[in-house]
Amino acid sequence: MTYNYINSIILVMKKIKIFISSVQKEFANERKELREYIFSDSLLGVFFETFLFEQLPAVDIGIDNVYLTEVDKCDIYLGLLGREYGFEDVAGISPTEREFDRATISNKNRFVYIKKVKNRHSKENAFVNKVQNVLVRKSFTTLSELKTAVYSSLVNYLIEKEIIRTAPFDATLSLKASIDDIDDEKVKSFIRLANIKRGFSLLETTPLETVLTHLNLLEKSKITNAAILLFGKNPQRFFITSEIRCASFYGNKVEKPINSYKVFKGDVFELVDYALEFVLNKLDYRIETREEHVQIPGSYEIPKDVIAEAIVNAVVHRDYSSNASVQVMVLRDRVEIWNPGVLPMGWTTNKLKELHNSIPKNPLLAEPMFLTAYIERLGTGTTDIVNKSKKVGLREPQFIQEDMFRTILFRKQRDLNTHQDTHQDTHQDTHQVERLILTMGKMEVTRSELMRNVHIKDRVSFRVNYLNPTIKAGYVEMTLPEKPRSKNQKYRLTKKGVSFKKKLKDKN
């Protein structure tokens, strides 16, 4: 008889051994992915090892005795339940249910994960109800959610057994913060965006505790470090180095004088947004033809998605126990993103340029960022960075692992003798001024409309880097100059601005 219907993973001690039962078609991919994920994770790989049922040699004992013997050896029984009930023995019981019953009788730790599906087999549905009567329900929809849930369960197991005394940073329960330090409006904003981007199952009206529990960010009324970083009212109150330091330089070297320097603080979503906007402000932006439309077609010299992916990777994969911060540096020929982190055990930087599994340093951070599309597809980020850069004719990005992990994105080559480089004092304003002028037509427009045109959200950054230099140069004027703060204030091109815009369009 072929035994290929078990949906479970069994963990046994020495290194805590994971026995992955023989392949059930419904969860074949999930088990394979879980095995590689646990092996490659820098924490779980130290304490757990996996073994596939198919690797057992042929023996002269009944197959039922083999898998039940493995259950007896394990410390943790981990099962996956889905739509199908699977093979049934002469008594009409599936191997998976036999395993669960044996683990229950033997007082094993049991982790069971139930996939959200429609039209579940009647016997599987009865099995699910049986499990839920004795265990806390742990459900999943995607492989990413399953990995996050398993990660959280195994870390909690290691802590409870005092095998480790400190959990990984993102899964550690905060001793100082409480749920009162979570911003409820940030959580609601997350749900709105996750609903739009990924069809997130919870509603804005869902209680805060339920949302955090669903995301594995709340355990016995205590919040995790990841919860603070994602939704905290003031994350830097608890983690001072959770910030991004951004700087731009006039040349190709990191040296003084520094063109611009800012330190951004906030939750991880805000950090990514602020750093991305900083970089985009420093890059050339090519405007396509348009006269009166509000939204302007155009593109940055480095694709916006490439920069965003690199910054998100730095936030998600960094080592938050380090005293160092994420650093973003814009130089004349490149953009460098540094983070205090290391690649998974056994990985090389070349692996990042190939399709690979996602093994985030901080999976409890990664999942909400995936749900809001800050991470487009788990495991494809670095390959997307390479492929999208090549597609627009840029030099292949570099990934370097030293004391810090570095991503280097190369800018388009340019003539260093152009007017943009003739004077350091004016260089930082030149391309921002040009971008703003090229977005303006004959109509008078508000400040908000101008900010949307150049894709800038921060009012101070827009005023300092775009609006003031453009007005100072005489290209743009206020419609109500005697009332600069009027709510009815609008802006229009001067004759000098119209002439300069024509020159810019002819040059492009």
40 pLDDT tier (thresholds 50, 70, 90): confident
Interval 263-284 mean pLDDT? 92
| Same domain membership, residue 498 and residue 366 | no
Domain of residue 367, CATH code: 3.30.565.60
The domain boundary residue, chosen from 220, 237, 254: 237
pLDDT digits (tens, 9 = 90+) for 391-401: 999 999 999 88
Domain of residue 65, CATH code: 3.40.50.10140
- Tell me if 84 sits within 8 A of 124, measured CB to CB: yes
Q: In the prediction, which pLDDT does 292 show? A: 44
Distance CA 399, CA 501 (A): 39
| Same domain membership, residue 429 and residue 361 | no
Q: In the prediction, which pLDDT does 307 show? A: 95
Q: In the prediction, which pLDDT does 3 show? A: 38
| Same domain membership, residue 204 and residue 146 | no
The domain boundary residue, chosen from 182, 217, 237: 237
Q: In the prediction, which pLDDT does 482 show? A: 87
With 50 as the cut, is the pLDDT of residue 248 above it? yes
**DSSP assignment of 399-454:** EEESSSEEEEEEPPP--TTSGGGS-HHHHHHHHHHHHHHHH--SS-B-HHHHHHHT
Q: In the prediction, which pLDDT does 337 show? A: 96
What average pLDDT does the structure give for the chain?
Answer: 82
With a threshold of 0.75, does the pTM exceed it? no
- Specify the higher pLDDT residue, 359 or 131: 131
Distance CA 176, CA 183 (A): 16
- Tell me if 312 sits within 8 A of 496, measured CB to CB: no
Residue 22, token pair as written in the block: 């023989």
With 70 as the cut, is the pLDDT of residue 314 above it? yes
In a domain, 1, yes or no: no
Interval 450-463 mean pLDDT? 80
Positions of E strands within 203-310 = 218-219, 222-223, 244-249, 258-264, 285-287, 298-300
In a domain, 482, yes or no: yes
In a domain, 438, yes or no: yes
Interval 28-48 mean pLDDT? 86
| Same domain membership, residue 270 and residue 220 | no
| Same domain membership, residue 206 and residue 258 | no
| Same domain membership, residue 220 and residue 259 | no
pLDDT digits (tens, 9 = 90+) for 354-374: 777 767 788 899 899 999 988
In a domain, 2, yes or no: no
Closest listed residue to residue 43, CA positions, set 160, 138, 163: 163
| Same domain membership, residue 121 and residue 27 | yes
Distance CA 278, CA 268 (A): 15
The domain boundary residue, chosen from 160, 195, 220: 160
DSSP conformation class of 466: I
In a domain, 101, yes or no: yes
| Same domain membership, residue 129 and residue 58 | yes
Residue 305, token pair as written in the block: 């998605």
Distance CA 105, CA 83 (A): 25
| Same domain membership, residue 258 and residue 123 | no
| Same domain membership, residue 438 and residue 380 | no
The count of structural domains within the chain is 4
In a domain, 319, yes or no: yes
pLDDT digits (tens, 9 = 90+) for 77-124: 888 899 988 888 888 888 888 888 888 898 888 888 899 999 999 999
In a domain, 90, yes or no: yes
Q: Given phi > 0 = left and psi -120 to 50 = alpha, else beta, which region is 346?
A: left
| Same domain membership, residue 48 and residue 125 | yes
Domain of residue 453, CATH code: 1.10.10.10
| Same domain membership, residue 453 and residue 475 | yes
- Tell me if 110 sits within 8 A of 102, measured CB to CB: no
In a domain, 107, yes or no: yes
- Specify the higher pLDDT residue, 353 or 199: 199
- List Cα–Cα distances, 182 to 179, 187, 191, 266, 274, in angstroms: 5, 8, 14, 13, 21
**Domain coverage including residue 492:** 419-507
